[in-house]
Amino acid sequence: MTDTIERIKCLIIGSGPAGYTAAIYAARADMHPVLYTGMEPGGQLTTTTEVDNFPGYPDGIDGPAMMIDMQRQAERFGTKVRIGMVTEVEFSKEPGGIHKACVDNATWVEAETVIISTGATAKYLGLPSEQRLRGGGVSACAVCDGFFYKNQEVAIVGGGDTAAEEATYLANICKKVTMLVRGDEMRASKAMQHRVTSTKNIDLRYNTQVDEVLGEQVVEGLQMVNNKSGEKETIEITGLFIAIGHKPNTDIFKGQLDMDSMGYLVTEGKSTKTNLPGVFASGDVQDKEYRQAVTAAGTGCMAALDAERYLSTIEKTEEKEVTAN
């Protein structure tokens, strides 16, 4: 007796706001989506204690709770949510072709359409104290979490455009922002550097790195070290923001899908279409600009609609071919 490979109409890889929103729309369109959660079910929001800027939650909501809500909504319409990680893919290059995906290095499935929502992983410093206090004052998104530190003293690590932008954003709502730049100059554009240096409540520290994040349950302070002199200094802060970049989770798609120099998937125009027919990308895996839950959800919706239209086009083409024969 031979094993049969499961055929899926719509395969969704990833379970953040993009993946679950895509699942909701795909399920309502009778595409019977199957979603594999990946290593981090719920995505980056599961590491956020409170989400205060997603529409529909006037009192805010706990990040993991919000993702459970999204999962339940997707399942209510018939989405099959499965714990597992897609570890290998073989995409077809032909319109109407069947795509293949291997789950947990063991089981292969086939899909008529694939929606990639694998997200991007924020880069952290790797300090044990930093990892321990993630969600307790250590954050990789100032726009997401900065509001909770209004009129407080915080620190931010990084020297690029994103760090400069987030530092000036924090300076508008926080009492003081200490900015730690590892080198002797910022990597940010001259315009962004000027914004930082002209903002009075940003204390810019060159050649400075984090030595230790202080606090047991929440961030209470920061021990910094000058990487030239070796001199250490401790400051009191309530929040630490890491802005040293993100890594898109696209390794398994290399060689098959078009990516930019940073590894983000490239989509056509305002659509979620990749360079291969029937394969779509949504959320942070193709968005290095905004990286918000609400924008990820929006592109998840777009991906499902694009997939539905693609299937409709394929079906019409096949009908014409049958009629012609």
Catalytic residue status for 102: no
Tell me which DSSP letter residue 172 carries.
T
Considering 10, 145, 174, 306, which one is annotated as catalytic? 145
Whole-angstrom distance, CA of residue 161 vs CA of residue 189: 6
Tell me which DSSP letter residue 285 carries.
G
Whole-angstrom distance, CA of residue 300 vs CA of residue 26: 10
Whole-angstrom distance, CA of residue 128 vs CA of residue 150: 26
Catalytic residue status for 145: yes
Considering 3, 10, 52, 141, which one is annotated as catalytic? 141
- 20 touches 66 (CB < 8 A): no
Whole-angstrom distance, CA of residue 5 vs CA of residue 237: 55
- 34 touches 80 (CB < 8 A): yes
Query: In the sheet that 221-226 helps form, which strands lie side by side, from edge to edge?
Result: 208-214, 221-226, 232-236
Considering 3, 10, 144, 184, which one is annotated as catalytic? 144
Residue whose tokens read 């000058």 = 226
Active site residues: 141, 144-145
